[in-house]
Amino acid sequence: MALRTYVQGVFSDSERKSMQAMLARVTEPVSYQAFQHFITHAPWDADRVWRRLRAVIPERRGMLILDGTSFPKQGPESVGVARQYCGALGKIANCQVATTVALWTGVRAWFLGATLYVPDTWLTPERRQLARIPAAVEFQEKWRHALTLLRQVRAAGFALTAVIGDAEFGDVTVLRAVLHRLRLPYALGISSTLTVFLGRPRLVAPVPRGLVSKEYAAKLAKRIQLGRTTPVAQHGTPEDASENVFGQHTTHFATADAEGNWVACTATINTSFGSKVVVPGTGVVLNNQMDDFSIQPGVANAFGLVGAEANAVAPGKRPLSSMSPTIVLKEGRPILSVGAAGGPTIISQTLLAIINVIDFGLPVEAALAQPRFHHQWKPDELKIEKRAGQQVLRELEKRGHKLAPVDSLGAAQAISFDAQAKVFFGAHDPRVEGKAEGF
């Protein structure tokens, strides 16, 4: 009877949800003491209720809506009540807030779960005891509640086609990264104060070099006024932000010594600033080489490469990579160490360097300086350096090639060994800054 009274009271059209107001709205009599005991001794964890509710929802496919639902309160006694942003009033006010999720099928919305947001001010030993908050309940941001509810909904068998939410969730980089890992499309709001240069490189603008320039830093510093705060309506943008950008970046180095030790090492963070995550306290930027997996058949990655099921994400697999650190042997002894940076062009660069040294007999420095070209099937175009010459370009076009002339293609490093003279020759790519050094 107390449960029925509670449900009738909660879903009534009255704005007041106190025990007295609920009892006044129902027709079947129940004692105030029994009703109070039911509410004050109810289990904290409502997972069993939500599991039963999700089990009877007839529609199982749709978009998941993340939301923060607020409940204005007059008094401070209800668990979770605090001075915080109240969406129902559009301002900071005394209220409770719950993180909620609902399934939108295109016709109707099904409520799938809610979690009470408990501010850390409620988690002191004294307030825990008075409110009977279990010791296992710890402070969690609303976006963490949202992720927990999302995982529960997926575990219940719902097929989510997308996730929708406002900037309260969209501003959280970790949440967006998790949705990406789960391969869930999302449409999340972003605050106007959040920089556009944070995010997956395929989904945002390239990162301008000006962000780390001393000139841009000095320009921003001039805006600081020591006597008062300075309003910042929106983020700044360096000069030439759309043209002068950080490139996708891989590094290769080659080394060898008189003891017969040879190294060809290629390292990458894949695209500009990798995943844009730095390991705290180390300065190490994590890569985003998950982009080298095929998201789905026929969909190109950041470098325009197209894959299929064989390169799909799966446990225990490593993504395909164009990195080709190579050591060439002659009669069992190393004579050339070579590799390159430049995404899918790495294979072409490495092969061309080997051909120029081994087949054409060029010194390693001259081999790296030769004009380069590259074709990767899709897109159906031949990238070729303009310094190959107009005659070469015209002849290729006559043969049906669709040309994509570029000023510079890649960056390779190499070491060769003259067995007769017993001398090492090192070369860095003249297209980029670098150095070859012997000790």
CA dist list (Å): 305 to 135, 143, 151: 51, 34, 32
- Provide the CATH topology of domain 43-188: Nucleotidyltransferase; domain 5 (3.30.420)
pLDDT at residue 196, rounded to an integer: 44
Q: Is the pLDDT of residue 110 over 60?
A: yes
Give the Cβ contact number of residue 201 at 10 Å: 21
Distance, CA of 26 to CA of 5 (rounded, Å): 7
Distance, CA of 435 to CA of 432 (rounded, Å): 10
pLDDT at residue 205, rounded to an integer: 43
Give 115: exposed, middle or buried? Use CB within 10 Å, 0-12, 13-18, 19+: buried
pLDDT digits (tens, 9 = 90+) for 394-405: 999 998 889 999
| Average of per-residue pLDDT across 140-152 | 92
With contact defined as beta carbons under 8 Å apart, do 56 and 24 qualify?
A: no
Number of residues in the chain: 439
| Residue 378 vs residue 246, higher pLDDT | 378
Query: Quick one: 250-372+409-428 is in which CATH superfamily?
Result: Gamma-glutamyltranspeptidase, small (S) subunit (3.60.20.40)
Closest CA to 24 of 40, 12, 36, 39: 12
Q: What is the bridge-based pairing of β-strands 82-86 and 61-72?
A: unpaired
Q: Is the pLDDT of residue 91 over 80?
A: yes
pLDDT at residue 160, rounded to an integer: 94
Distance, CA of 197 to CA of 356 (rounded, Å): 41
pLDDT digits (tens, 9 = 90+) for 179-233: 887 888 888 887 765 544 433 334 344 556 677 778 878 887 887 777 666 665 6
**For 323-363, where are the alpha helices, taking DSSP H only?**
345-354
pLDDT at residue 28, rounded to an integer: 61
Tally the C-alpha atoms within 13 A of residue 362's C-alpha that lie toward its C-beta. 16
* Residues with active-site annotation: 250
pLDDT digits (tens, 9 = 90+) for 224-250: 777 666 665 666 666 765 555 555 578
With contact defined as beta carbons under 8 Å apart, do 266 and 325 qualify?
A: yes
Q: Is 331 helix (H, G, I), strand (E, B) or coil?
A: coil
103: confidence class by pLDDT, cuts 50, 70, 90: very high
| Average of per-residue pLDDT across 278-293 | 84
| Residue 14 vs residue 138, higher pLDDT | 138
pTM over 0.85: no
pLDDT at residue 201, rounded to an integer: 39
Q: Is the pLDDT of residue 317 over 70?
A: yes
Give the Cβ contact number of residue 144 at 10 Å: 17
Token digits of residue 112: 């799938």
Chain-centre distance for alpha carbon 439? 43
Tally the C-alpha atoms within 13 A of residue 341's C-alpha that lie toward its C-beta. 23
Q: Would you kindly state where each structural domain of the chain is located, as residue ranges?
A: 43-188, 250-372+409-428
Chain-centre distance for alpha carbon 304? 19
Closest CA to 371 of 325, 410, 404: 410
**Mean pLDDT, the chain, integer:** 82
